Structure 1
Amino acid sequence: MIVSLIDEIKNGESKTLEFKKEFPNNESIAKTVIAFSNTSGGKLIIGVDNNGKIIGLKENVDIFDLQDKIASIIYDDCYPNIIPEIYTANIDGKIIIVVEVFRGSLLPYYFKKEGKNNGTYIRIGATNRKASYDNILELERQKRNISFDEEINYDVDFYSLDISPIRLEFEKVGKQIDMEKLKNLKLIKEENGKIYPTNGLLILLGKYENCTIKCARFKGKTMDIFLDKKDYNGDLFSQLEKAESFIKNHINLRGEIKGLQRTDTYEIPIEAIREALINAVVHRDYTNMGRDIKVGIYDDILNIVSPGGFPSTLTEKDILEGRSEVRNKVIARVFKELNYIEQWGSGIKRIKSTCLKYGLKEPIIKETGDFVDVEIYREVPESAGKVPESAGKVPEKYRDLSEQEIRIIEYIKNNGKITSKEVEKLIGVKNRRAREILKEMIDRKIITRKGRGRSTYYSLKAHQK
């Protein structure tokens, strides 16, 4: 036990660990114990400074008196009752006190003097934070073992909703969905003979303002300048498809073009991209209406940030070991039914293993405050942002070409010309976007337009050949 405790101390303060150099005041003890009880449990260690240095208690201190005092503080100041384990440990001749708290089942726990609405605390990273009203509601749901997406939304008329996006997804996997199936999946519930949608159904259809994926391609390795930006709304399935296409359009391809056929290998395995996006959509926190999923593509990484830390009972270590707890039961059940999810708890391992097999650095998946941050490394060329050799030599003033523009140049160099239809197929965009890209390239004097009507095509300017 001592060895394990030493290792924990070396790792520093965290969601489940707090240090106090000296005996703290009553309120500090109570609020830390409450925060641990409402979150993932944890240890309050007295006799260790903020840097993880073991100081130990004063030699003349009465250990038993201190333990009794801690127990009394917790009993008097915390509600409902919390029963921690309080024990001492001797590390290199220095005595420390450990107050080990386990996640409670009578949520939410709060500071008696402040009451439930003002005195409920949760653990965010290595700090105690006063719980918001939404946080308290979520804790109460957890006590009842019900998720936000299982709750009924009484304000929306079910029959006003177009559920065709869901029906189409089920048809793709050879399944039908009817009212009975909707009930079984808890997408709808019946009360007093009336059908109501659940939050899960409204989330799947993208009816809430925070059901959005915001994608951006930044120049270099910072957020200072963006080269492309898209916000995707609508049903979650189309959002996933569009976000994946956005990423594909902004990461590098390795392969050869022969006519319209190209053998492509993306620099990041598609399986890892899909898994990271699905994880973000399925496991994010939908209760906070002011936050959405953000996808950032930089020269060195693909970054996917989703609101909500790991589920309360889980730590980063638990997640990386494959332990699973579902925050959004309805969403997860539907995605499992549609084969988006293969096996519970396997997603993060699959992201890491596919990237390692691809020869990339191991992705970083971490909890940052109340967000989950996924960083997948790209293949960084010797000079990030420059056009690959396969695209030919490009003048210095065109070094900032996007990946889409580079692929168009490659195609023209191999085939002499390109049409807007060929651009649509080549980079996977719709007609309007294809024409926008071509117009931008004309304005920058990279290509020229020739012909009229259906005979219109585009070729490189003379100095580009």
Structure 2
Amino acid sequence: MSHMLEQLLRQAESKTLEFKRDLSSPRNLLKTLIAFANTAGGRVLIGISDHKQVVGVSDPLADEERICNLIADSISPRLIPNVELVSSGEHTLLILEVFPSNSRPHYLNTLGPDQGVYIRLGSSNRQAGPDLIAEMRRTAMGIVFDEMPMQELSESDVDLIAASRLFGTQHPLDHKTLTTLKLLRQEQGRLVPTHGAILLFGKDRIQHFPDAWIQCARFRGLDKVDIFDQAEIHAHLPEAVTSIEQFLQKHAFKTAQFGAMRRQDIWSIPISILREAIVNALVHSDYSQRGTPIRIAFFDDRIDIESPGLLLPGMTIEDMKNGVSRIRNPVIARIFRELGLIEQWGSGIKRIFSEAQKQGLPEPRITEIATGLRLSIYVQKTAPIMTSSLTNEQVSKQVREQASAYLSDRARIMLRLCSVQPASKAELLSAAKLSNAYMNYKRHIIPLVEQGLLELTIPDRPQSPFQRYRSTVLGQHFLGMDMPSLPNETGRQDLPGNQQK
């Protein structure tokens, strides 16, 4: 037996490997070959029993000719796999190897191009729907979905005010910059937004992409039977990162470690890993698919992040673990990179696995599901959840009560500054050693206002250039409780939004 055959027989059936005893079910074999060609390629070994014993084929040359004729007559566009006869003792096997095809989508002629397209999902074949077929056609032609123009829309459909706020005054978003970033495209003598622009900053994104939002939920236990809290996030995609983090943090708790100079806050969930996973989902989701949003499910032992869209052709889960990356949405990825939400191209998943190992967590798990990919991040411990049945209003009250009365270092600095005299947004951020950027304002100042710890000096004109912030009575009370946060029986946490950047 050859070394290659020994290696293959040690493996289980997978996205790229299948075993067949004989050619008694040629239709299923043809579906597998089509699925391999449309997905990541693969090998079929014919002459292997259900118990993975080598039984060989009865007439190797005749079977080789038969399978080649079946493929030629049954599959379109034309598919030419490598067919090899391999000897193993007194037996002879047929090994068919299919490579990812640039002529996809291939389909079964008897079912036609709309019903006969198959893809590989784990170790099984799945019939592709119209969205997946369209995506395969685009990728085969080199067309990128988020770069495609939306000719029925105009520049006014993009929230350029929000985009400019995120980029800051040092990066003005003029027409040249917007075109370079491929947020706008010249079509028939006028500038129109791309899919990426509307997904990122569309004023009415849901009208055009009804499933481009994020569903967050906290469940009791290890499955989706008993839901405790949920939220729908419709923010612009770059801002959704913080909104998702805040949802997760309000259901976690924080302890403190004290070093020689200062304390270090330790969350019960791996914040840095989750942030990487959240960004990865927002950047790589297939927004052309209909029927499912991005889903974040927080269980007692893990956090599942489900993103629509199967792996791009030629990619496998092992490729992802090894750091191989292909960008599905280059426009969205470029904007996330420009805003500092992506640190290094193509290293996210590998960094997630590496960081989990460093933190002593179980290895994350990537699973291909019917709608796309699920990334499971395991946690060491989570905040206990009360078991009574609660209304939404009671849930919100309980979550607020679970927020800790003890503030992060930056929050204390800002509250103390405002307790002396009112301070501007720029002064608060500077005191906390943060840049005067909108994302820092949203992450560090707005939560203090929402919690009633800071108040505006001109409340009826929030955007006034003379706006200042001052500590409330409640804020002064929290400052008086200036002590390290400790976990208790209710799993208390720091106030949402006061995390270190």
Distance (whole Å) between structure 2 residues aligned to residue 153 and residue 67 of structure 1: 49
Give the aligned residue type for 2:384: G
Q: 1:75 aligns with which of 72, 75, 86?
A: 72
Q: Distance in 2 between matches of 1:455 and 1:102?
A: 65
Any idea what the Cα deviations from partners look like across 1:393-427, whole Å, max 9, x if unmatched? xxxxxxxx96763443778xxxxxxxxx99x9999
Query: What's 2:226 paired with?
Result: 225
What is the CA-CA distance between 1:385 and the residue it aligns to? 2.2
State yes or no: 1:192 paired with 2:183.
no
Q: Which residue of 1 aligns with 2:61?
A: 64
Report the CA distance between 1:432 and its aligned residue: 6.0
The answer to whether the 8 A contact 1:268-1:355 is kept is: no
Shift of 1:114: 2.7
Which shifted more, 216-225 or 191-200?
Answer: 216-225
The answer to whether 1:144 aligns with 2:141 is yes
Q: Which residue of 2 aligns with 1:162?
A: 159
Deviates more, 1:152-161 or 1:130-139: 152-161
The 1:103–1:89 alpha-carbon spacing in structure 2 relative to 1, beyond 3 Å, is same
Matched letter for residue 47 of structure 2: G
Q: Write out per-residue CA displacement over residues 18-76 of structure 1, whole angstroms, 9 at most, x where no aligned residue.
A: 2222214333232221221111111122123456x124225xx2211111111111111
* 1:268 partner letter: I
Match runs of 1:218-297 below 5 Å: 218-255=219-256, 263-297=264-298
Contact 1:363 1:374 (8 Å CA) reproduced: yes
How far apart in 2 are the matches of 1:152 and 1:432?
39
1:12 equivalent in structure 2? 12
Q: Is the 8 A contact 1:245 1:428 kept in 2?
A: no
| Structure 2 CA distance for aligned equivalents of residues 300 and 15 of structure 1 | 28
- TM-superposed CA distance for 1:12, in Å, is 1.8
Q: 1:428 Cα shift?
A: 8.1
**SS of equivalent to 2:287:** coil
Shift of 1:278: 0.3
Distance 1:331 1:28, change over 3 A: same
Structure 1 letter corresponding to 2:230: K
SS at match of 1:379: coil
Q: For residues 400 and 198 of structure 2, what CA distance do their matches in structure 1 show?
A: 34
Stretch of structure 1 that moved more, 264-273 or 246-255 = 264-273
Match of 1:98 in 2: 95
Instruction: Give the secondary structure class of the aligned counterpart of 1:228.
Output: strand
Displacement of 1:165 in angstroms is: 2.4
Deviation sequence 1:100-131 (CA, Å, 0-9, x none): 00111122212223322222222222222222
TM-score relative to the length of structure 2: 0.74
| 1:309 aligned partner, one-letter code | L
2:213 paired with 1:212: yes
Cα distance between partner residues in 2 of 1:166 and 1:100:
48
Hey, what does 1:391 align to over in structure 2? Answer: none
* Distance in 1 separating the partners of 2:447 and 2:9: 52
1:92 to 1:315, Cα distance in 2 relative to 1, 3 A: farther
Which one of 91, 106, 109 corresponds to residue 109 of structure 1?
106
Q: Secondary structure of 1:135's partner?
A: helix
Amino acid at match of 1:11: Q
**1:187 Cα deviation (Å)?**
1.5
The aligned counterpart of 1:84 is 81
> Secondary structure at 1:255's aligned position in 2?
strand
Indicate conservation of the 8 Å contact 1:215/1:296, yes or no. yes
1:140 is paired with a residue whose SS is helix
**2:330 aligned partner, one-letter code:** K
Letter in 2 for 1:191: E
- Residue 121 of structure 2 corresponds to 124
Partner Cα distance (2:257, 2:47) in 1: 63
* C-alpha displacement of 1:243: 0.2
- Quick one: structure 1 residues 91 and 204, their matched pair in 2 at CA, closer, same or farther if it must change by over 3 Å? farther
In 2, the alpha carbon distance for the partners of 1:49 and 1:336 equals 50
Name the residue aligned to 2:334: 333
User: Retained in 1: the 8 A contact 2:257–2:266?
Assistant: no
The total of aligned residue pairs comes to: 414
Quote the Cα distance in structure 1 between the aligned partners of 2:305 and 2:320: 17
Q: Larger deviation: 314-323 or 88-97?
A: 88-97
8 Å contact 2:321–2:353 — kept in the other structure? no
Q: Deviations over 1:130-151 (max 9, x none)?
A: 2222122111111211121111
Q: How far off is 1:202 after superposition?
A: 1.0
Cα drift, residue 201 of structure 1:
0.8
Identical pairs, percent: 33
Structure 2 residue matching 1:86: 3-state secondary structure: strand
- CA spacing shift, 1:430–1:54, aligned 2, 3 Å: farther
Counterpart contact for 2:365–2:376, Cα < 8 Å: yes
Rate the CA distance shift 1:346–1:5 in 2: closer, same or farther, 3 A.
farther
Q: Which residue of 2 aligns with 1:179?
A: 175
Does the CA contact (< 8 Å) of 1:31 and 1:121 recur in 2?
yes
User: 1:359-399: CA deviations, max 9, x gaps?
Assistant: 22222233334422112221237xx7279xxxxxxxxxxxx
TM-score (norm 1): 0.79
